Amino acid sequence: MQKLIGANEEDDEEEIEMDVKEEDNENGQKHISAQMMLGADGVMPSTSHQFQIQQQLQEQVSTPGGGARRSRPLEEKERTKLRERHRRALTARILAGLRKHGNYNLRVRADINDVIAALAREAGWVVLPDGTTFPSRSQGSRPAGDSSAGLTSSSSEMLSQQAPPTSLQGVSSGYCALVEYNACHMKGVFMPTPAPYDLSSSGHSQSSGMVGNGGEQTESLPLIAGSMEVINDKQLGVVNMKCELVDPDGLLKQLRVLKSINVDGVMIDCWWGIVEAHAPQEYNWNGYRKLFQMVHELKLKLQVVMSFHECGGNVGDDVCIPLPHWVAEIGRSNPDIFFTDREGRRNTECLSWGIDKERVLRGRTAVEVYFDFMRSFRVEFNEFFEDGIISMVEVGLGPCGELRYPSCPVKHGWRYPGIGEFQCYDQYMLKSLRKAAEMRGHSFWARGPDNAGSYSSHPHETGFFCDEGDYDGYYGRFFLNWYSQLLINHGDLVLSLAKLAFEGSCIAAKLPGIHWWYKTSSHAAELTAGFYNPCNRDGYIAIAAMLHKHGAALNFACAELQFLEQLEDLQEALANPQGLVWQVLNAAWEACITVVSENAFVCHDRVGYNKILENVKPVNDPDGRHFSSFTYLRLTPLLMERQNFMEFERFVKRMHGEAVLYLQV
């Protein structure tokens, strides 16, 4: 046995099996034939193996009675077992080394695919959950900050130090990158410049009472600049996947630059998949604590997002921050914890609303998991709340942190301006649908629409969303009411717990701006996302009422949507950004909730800044209504160039209500 264990590795690579049997030759005499299987690489065994086989054959031929052993020798079976144990031990040591010394965030039972994906991301490639791999934008040589550039820095936010304590400001959890000056270290940073239809670019929240009357000369409006990003593994950023603060000296310089032009504060995502990565209720806040202390010492304000979603796989996603490993382990045995489409494809961006009250997460419900996370954050950073450093907490309510269904996943084939698909086919959602149908007295309605098309369909191509389609029939109204109410119930439940966890602090929620197909009767893209807003019904009033119930601000990205209508792709999609903006804003203002905004595109010129100011601080609004704060997207090295930085500084002053001369540059 020791001899077999000590065999060289080349011998271990061969897989040899023999099948020895007796056959009658033409003379009726018996002879023994042996069949030998090739190795996994298709190569014949080595000479030494051939000699061993011949020796075994001779021993079998000389066996009294001519009998033949039909199975592999026992020693060879033992050898195979030992070889597999040896390989597994090697794999375990490799994975342990990568986790310990390389900051690779590998699950406990990682396989070779996980290792390859981690190495590919380390090399600057993007690896989607389905295995699709392609070069990251950050490998390009185009200037950072360009919509197609690889180096992306995220949005920045400023909170006015003169603003009342109730002032809120937020940045979409999709924008997680900090200001970066060294492009060569940035590999796969999440969130480049969003397209007009990029769902992850919508809404950031900030709330306060109405400040001033909208007059530019008298009003100081909070402005945010400098949102921080969590970066994968060894990439330069703020907090890495081990929740460690990266490059604190460089970060301090960046924050001082923001402070020098009187920005009010910064914003950071606290990722569930990083903080509670490996085991339930084991939280690691180390990197965030060091960051918050640095912000506090510079006398800046801070906003945080409770990011309960996955980063990766959608428009603009260049990095992957998955859900916690222990949640993924549960999902492997019970995939119904994730949203599911009609074809049975699972979406791991976030957890299904169906398990909000189901104890399937190691004895806890989904909302209990969210509450425990938020409570841990509140306890860990109590002094920052007490000192007023943390001015707002935005609560993630779905994919990209937005209150919506993941109806438009790029990884499942969605392309703009597709209508998306309903996400209600996991067993828990179907259970809820069956219960609702039975209560209505029509148990046969316990199904999703079978004529709603696919992700990239157009409304007129379907029987459900076309003009006078089934969406407006008895069954369609029942289904859409159930589907949208489940979304509202989810937001209501999570925000009620957030209000309890962050008692006395401002909270906010984020909505997307789904404006394509708005000019059609069904508003199909909104329906699949959970907003029951066809042309004959206002689907945002109930959402605004729910936010008002919890005193939450509405985070809605719309500062520039009114100027998009001239774009050809929006015209073809029968989009109406302006109509959507006015509908959502009116619903919010009627409910007396605070609204904040952000720019949807990179802006470095005076014309763009003036458009933002015109929308955020309208001078001629008859009711004196305006946004309570604004989020600037995004602070990049391109913005820090002299010409651009001068324009940005001027914009900050105007946002704060200062009169600025139009100097000729």
How is 365-430 classified by DSSP, letter by letter?
-HHHHHHHHHHHHHHHTHHHHHTT-EEEEEEP-SGGGBSS-----GGGT--TT--------SHHHH
Q: Catalytic residue positions?
A: 402, 598
> CB neighbours of 268 closer than 8 A, spacing ≥ 6?
176, 227, 228, 230, 238, 239, 288, 291, 302, 303, 304, 305
Using DSSP's 3-state secondary structure scheme, residue 595 falls into: strand
Integer Rg of the chain from CA: 30
Instruction: Give me the phi and psi of 87, to 5 degrees please.
Output: -65, -40
Tokens of 312: 């990766």
Q: What whole-number distance in Å separates Cα of residue 328 and Cα of residue 338?
A: 10
Q: What whole-number distance in Å separates Cα of residue 47 and Cα of residue 447?
A: 64
Q: What whole-number distance in Å separates Cα of residue 263 and Cα of residue 284?
A: 29
Sign of CA dihedral 638, 644, 650, 655: negative
Strand locations in 194-248 (E)? 223-224, 227-228
Tokens of 509: 């929620």
For residues 610-647, one letter each, b for 16 or more C-beta atoms within 10 angstroms of the residue's C-beta and e for the rest, the string is ebbbebbbeeeeeeeebbbbbbbbbbbbbbbeeebeeb
Using DSSP's 3-state secondary structure scheme, residue 576 falls into: coil
320 close to 127: Cβ distance less than 8 angstroms: yes
Cβ atoms within 10 Å, residue 241: 23
Q: What is the dihedral of CA 158, 217, 581, 169, to 10 degrees?
A: 20
> CB neighbours of 50 closer than 8 A, spacing ≥ 6?
44
